[in-house]
Structure formats: C-alpha cells, structure tokens
C-alpha cells in the first residue's frame, strides 16, 4: 500500500533547490522557485493523476568539448519524489553501501581496516566498465514492477528509463543504458545487483562489500577469493557487463589497494589514496574554468574556489581520521 504524503513532495522540492543552488542566474531552477507557490499544488495533482510527462533531458557542451545532460528543474524533484517513495520497496543488500541510510563511510573504512589487521591477506577489487551505460532497461523496469505496484510510480520510472535528449532542437533516444544525472540512478544501480550481492555474501571465507559498481573481496586464503571472482564474472556475463581492466586488482594485500579514497595494505588503512590529491587538483582547475566562462569576477571565483577547497579539506581530514592517519 502506497501513501503519498505532501511532505514528501516538499522534501523533493527542497532537495532540488539545494542541489542547484549554485546554478547561474539564467538557469531554470530560479524560474521554478519564483513560481513554486502557484505551481506546487497543481503540479502535484497532475503527478498523482498520472498525466505528468517528463521532458527531454538537455545536453550542454563545454568549450573543451566535454558534454553532459541534465533533467529540467521541474523534472528533477519529480524523480526525487519517486526515489523517496520506492526506496523502501526495492531490494538493496546490506553489502551494498552507497545507498542513503546504509553503513557510513567511516564505519565501512574502519570495518575493512579491522579485516586486514585480522589477517585478510588476499584482495580482489574491480568495477564494471560503464555500468550505467550497459544497464538493460527492460531488466530495470521488470525489477521495479516486481516490487512497486502503483501505476503512477511505474509510469514515471518507465519514462525515466526510456528518456530522450535534446540538443540544438534535435531529439534522440539513447539505445541502451540509463542516465547518470538523477537521484533514481544510484537506487536502481543498487537494486539491480541484489542477487549478485546475495550470492557473494553467502560465500564462506570472504569479506565482501560493494559501492555502486565497485566490488571489494577480501580473504585470508587465495582460493575463496578465486571462487568469488569466478562467481562475480559469471554474473557479469549473465547481465552483459564487463570488468574495467584498469581498475581490476587481484593478489596480496601487501601490495596495497585503493578503496573509497583510502589506501589500504596488509597493515590496514595507511592514509589518503595517491590518486585523491591529483583528482582534487584537476577538479579545482575545472571549477575555475567553468566559473570564468560564466563571467564571474575574479573575486567571486576566488570565493567559490576557496569554499571548494574548504569542503575538500574537511573530506580529506575525515578520510585521514578514518584511516588513522590523522592522529
């Protein structure tokens, strides 16, 4: 039985405002906020009646040649509303930790640190190459229909899965995969691999965790890791996934491995992973370029970059504390 509460709709709207609070002055979020008091109730009634239709995602291109797609400011809270309702119905295994309300980052890192110090000498780490891009839409929709009975929610999920993109007045529908820029995507990505999580978690002699499409398997013996790897690859074949060759590692933990931004060895957590500072530097430069293209003053750019630096330093301090490197 589904109970649609107006406060869930309000929560979705507030989420959308917060997520786009730094968008430029000509972004559609400001028009939505300006007219929200007059639109909110009628829009909500339209959703509940089953008449709401998602618009095409907009593709934006950077001067560098990179591009990204984005839902409209009105569609984003609608999809967030769907997420808030169906997240308690879709199956997400406890070994999958990226979904809101699950094990926190610090607790997970501490858990892995304990496993390693207790003698988990062998590691297998990999992720799925282009996970979102290779998700089969029919499988995702069948999963939702299996657990969600309400036709309004089903229809909105179907529209989300079979989305269209507009670029320069031309419309096209991607042939496969699901979009990344949506609050529904992490939930769908978590639920789709529930059977994989269940099978791997049931194996004896291993410790297993997944964060979105990143897989981590630890054991004090070589054979349990090999058996788990074979099982995982079987599931990859069934779902037409493939492991990313540059992000796959198997062997002894003494060589070290990166998990959630922390570098681990056989001794446990050693500190921030080597790639984290370099990734931060690249994102900082990219932020400066984006702000200059928007026409912001050098003072405004410096303030925004400083806030980004402060957020990163807080996150880095948290990672260091989680790894024991901050003491």
Full-model pTM = 0.83
Q: Domain count for the chain, please give it.
A: 3
Looking at the predicted structure, is the pLDDT value of residue 248 above 90? Answer: yes
Residues 142 and 26 in one domain: yes
pLDDT tens, 42-90?
Answer: 999 999 999 999 999 998 877 666 778 899 999 999 999 999 999 999 9
Residues 254 and 279 in one domain: no
b (16+ CB within 10 A) / e for 273-291:
beebeeebeeeeeeebebb
Q: Which of 146-150, 211-215, 220-224, 321-325 has the lowest average pLDDT?
A: 321-325
pLDDT at 103: 64
- Tokens 């993109």 appear where? 165
| Domain of 170, in residue numbers | 6-86+137-175
Looking at the predicted structure, is the pLDDT value of residue 141 above 70? Answer: yes
Residues 75 and 208 in one domain: no
pLDDT tens, 268-311?
Answer: 888 787 777 777 788 888 888 877 777 778 888 888 888 888 87
Tell me how far apart the alpha carbons of residues 77 and 83 are, in angstroms, rounded to a whole number.
9
- Tokens 């657990």 appear where? 147
Predicted confidence band of residue 178 (pLDDT cuts 50, 70, 90): very high
CATH number at residue 194: 3.30.70.270
Residues 159 and 250 in one domain: no
Find, among 86, 84, 106, the residue nearest to 97 by Cα: 106
pLDDT at 303: 84
Residues 114 and 142 in one domain: no
Q: Average per-residue pLDDT in the chain?
A: 88
Rounded (10°) CA dihedral 155, 156, 162, 166 = 140
């Amino acid at each position: 039985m589904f109970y649609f509460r107006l406060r869930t709709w309000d929560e979705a709207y507030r989420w959308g405002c917060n997520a786009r609070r730094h968008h430029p002055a000509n972004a559609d979020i400001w028009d939505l906020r300006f007219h929200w008091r007059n639109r909110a109730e009628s829009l909500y009634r339209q959703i509940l009646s089953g008449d709401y239709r998602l618009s095409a995602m907009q593709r934006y291109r950077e001067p560098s040649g990179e591009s990204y797609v984005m839902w409209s400011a009105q569609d984003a809270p609608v999809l967030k509303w769907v997420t808030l309702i169906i997240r308690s119905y879709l199956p997400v295994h406890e070994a999958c930790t990226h979904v809101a309300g699950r094990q926190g980052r610090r607790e997970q890192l501490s858990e892995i640190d304990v496993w390693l110090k207790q003698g988990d000498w062998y590691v297998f780490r990999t992720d799925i190459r282009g996970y979102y891009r290779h998700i089969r839409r029919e499988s995702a929709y069948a999963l939702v229909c299996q657990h969600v009975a309400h036709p309004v929610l089903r229809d909105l999920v179907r529209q989300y899965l079979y989305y269209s993109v507009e670029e320069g007045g031309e419309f096209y529908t991607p042939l496969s995969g699901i979009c990344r820029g949506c609050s529904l995507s992490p939930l769908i990505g978590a639920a789709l691999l529930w059977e994989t999580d269940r099978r791997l978690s049931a194996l004896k002699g291993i410790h297993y965790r997944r964060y979105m499409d990143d897989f981590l398997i630890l054991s004090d013996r070589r054979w349990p890791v090999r058996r788990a790897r074979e099982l995982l690859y079987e599931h990859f074949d069934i779902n037409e996934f493939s492991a990313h060759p540059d992000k796959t590692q198997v062997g002894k933990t003494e060589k070290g491995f990166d998990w959630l931004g922390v570098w681990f060895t056989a001794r446990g957590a050693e500190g921030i992973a080597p790639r984290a500072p370099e990734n931060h530097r690249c994102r900082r430069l990219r932020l400066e370029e984006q702000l200059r293209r928007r026409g912001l003053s050098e003072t405004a750019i410096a303030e925004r970059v400083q806030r980004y630096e402060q957020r990163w330093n807080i996150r880095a301090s948290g990672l260091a504390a989680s790894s024991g490197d901050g003491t």
